[in-house]
Structure 1
């Protein structure tokens, strides 16, 4: 980890929070429970137990892996439907093949992001390629669910395939942190992801002992999730201590104009840096009703989605799959 990097972050554009920015305090740190998804690959439910008012417009996020598969072990998901939201699959290590009932599909490699707008609905499958099943290997990634506002819930499905090389690479003010800006804007720099709901998504690698402070839009919420390593979150100084967090823990920030994370001086041997995903979004502030793979505004819309799925109106599984 990670798939997209540079030897010297000091060669990259630097980002720093303006002087006098109101720092965001940490409201809560939550530990993600572990479970199995699809055909049995391990996941951490990153936002389990966090009140939705702090997540909106995000619905959930799974950390897939990190797991080293033996030959014959790699697993995926069976065919399943989606309606009413977007799935963002960010692969750090490994390879995934995806296919849908509308004829879409492709391969996601380490460093790539696949942005699928389910909209009015489709059937979808994700699985490792046969070569990876045969050989085994490392698999690690994230899948984030982003809600769609009521006006966009029934738009036609579409994809954005964001190759690792398209991600905007930035550095912290002293070069101690490498930032991969997947979506959103930070201090005039834009990520390649195009979103219906304004969001920011960053994967940061923070060197041991380094501090990262970023400007953050005041109208956005703010979340951090530890992919690997140990650190603290929240503004320090003036007697205020940052809140510790580590691999598999999510941080909820309060209001403000900047956010700070720091890497501990000592990191675990398997990960030399603190690896953290930073997320922010403009809350939709509409009713959110979820039933499995359907995310709508009302119970009646959920019932209709389930009825449409059973009637084959979300698509049918291709006969050649």
Structure 2
């Protein structure tokens, strides 16, 4: 079964593709919506994977437990609206991420990491709500050295006015540029809109999309709702207006330098490289994550299986 619906008939001249995601419950009340990759659209700019995590409410003693798993050929970008996740990786990084902050992990030639609820937060319980993206690396950087960078919220450009609060997570948008290092021209922003507030998405980048995490927006009288990814045609400005308190992600960039193959948590321009990564994980040749004894085994079925 696909993660996205295919029978929506809404149309708009500026809209190239509309992906209506389904919610999947992965146990313990933890829900995920997947917008990319989709049968309708594989990538937007360099973005090849988009998952909405939650919103979920964990009871005391419960939390997120994504065991160690590998990546190649991409960067993961974790961004939270609510809650906290503790990141550990095979470089020895131990870094909590909280709302408004950015964890950017470059997998390159290979890295393994885990994502869990820290013991203190697990004891208290609470909400978790956020977005995780994968950014495919250009061919010349696919085998770069793995790296991890954390950016505090106050280091990211912030734009505010007329009912709109927007944080630029990565890339360039509206004359601002994020300090997050990227490997290709792109943009990724978090925008919160009050009911009735308007926002214009300029034609600064060839490929552009909007993901609605909460609320509703209208574009020339056509309404779009939470859980929907709108991919726009190149060249035209998009004027939207919120018809409820709304949280949305703006993303896109230059087209990728060729198609990408994807299997589980691996992305590459080469199918042979994917086979090599699969064999390396099965044989235990990825560097381990310190303080972790568990791991997610290689799945038998193909596809981007992000959570256990």
What's the TM-score, normalizing by structure 2? 0.85
Aligned to 2:262: 290
Q: Deviations over 1:23-59 (max 9, x none)?
A: 9812232211222569973211023535346524211
- How has the CA–CA distance of structure 1 residues 74 and 50 changed in structure 2, closer, same or farther, with 3 Å as cutoff? same
Give, in angstroms, the shift of residue 176 of structure 1.
2.4
Structure 2 distance, partners of 1:124, 1:182, is 21
Aligned to 1:256: 235
Structure 2 distance, partners of 1:111, 1:73, is 23
- How has the CA–CA distance of structure 1 residues 316 and 186 changed in structure 2, closer, same or farther, with 3 Å as cutoff? closer
Structure 2 distance, partners of 1:121, 1:261, is 40
Q: 1:121 aligns with which of 102, 106, 110?
A: 110
Aligned to 1:105: 94
Q: Deviations over 1:75-97 (max 9, x none)?
A: 22011001110100001111111
- How has the CA–CA distance of structure 1 residues 113 and 198 changed in structure 2, closer, same or farther, with 3 Å as cutoff? same
Give, in angstroms, the shift of residue 295 of structure 1.
0.4
Aligned to 1:16: none
Structure 1 distance, partners of 2:154, 2:68, is 29
Conserved 8 A contact 1:81-1:309 = yes
Please, what is the CA RMSD of the aligned residues? 2.1
Structure 2 distance, partners of 1:48, 1:165, is 31
1:225 aligns with 2:211: yes
- How has the CA–CA distance of structure 1 residues 40 and 317 changed in structure 2, closer, same or farther, with 3 Å as cutoff? farther
SS of the residue corresponding to residue 295 of structure 1 reads strand
Larger relative contact order (CA 8 Å, sep ≥ 6): 1
SS of the residue corresponding to residue 36 of structure 2 reads coil
Aligned to 1:12: none
Structure 1 distance, partners of 2:13, 2:94, is 40
Structure 2 distance, partners of 1:38, 1:159, is 29
* 1:274-289 correspondence runs (5 A): 274-289=246-261
SS of the residue corresponding to residue 184 of structure 1 reads strand
- How has the CA–CA distance of structure 1 residues 54 and 81 changed in structure 2, closer, same or farther, with 3 Å as cutoff? closer
Structure 2 distance, partners of 1:214, 1:52, is 20
Q: 2:186 aligns with which of 184, 193, 199?
A: 199
- How has the CA–CA distance of structure 1 residues 102 and 205 changed in structure 2, closer, same or farther, with 3 Å as cutoff? same
Q: Deviations over 1:102-132 (max 9, x none)?
A: 2122111122110100001111101011111
- How has the CA–CA distance of structure 1 residues 157 and 78 changed in structure 2, closer, same or farther, with 3 Å as cutoff? same
What's the TM-score, normalizing by structure 1? 0.82
Q: Deviations over 1:259-311 (max 9, x none)?
A: 222101xx3xxxxx111101011111312101101101122111011122223
Conserved 8 A contact 1:209-1:262 = yes
Give, in angstroms, the shift of residue 206 of structure 1.
1.3
Give, in angstroms, the shift of residue 319 of structure 1.
5.5
Aligned to 1:315: 287
Conserved 8 A contact 2:267-2:274 = yes
| Gapped regions of structure 1 (runs ≥ 5) | 1-22, 268-272
Q: 2:61 aligns with which of 45, 56, 72?
A: 72
Aligned to 1:213: 200
Structure 2 distance, partners of 1:170, 1:253, is 23
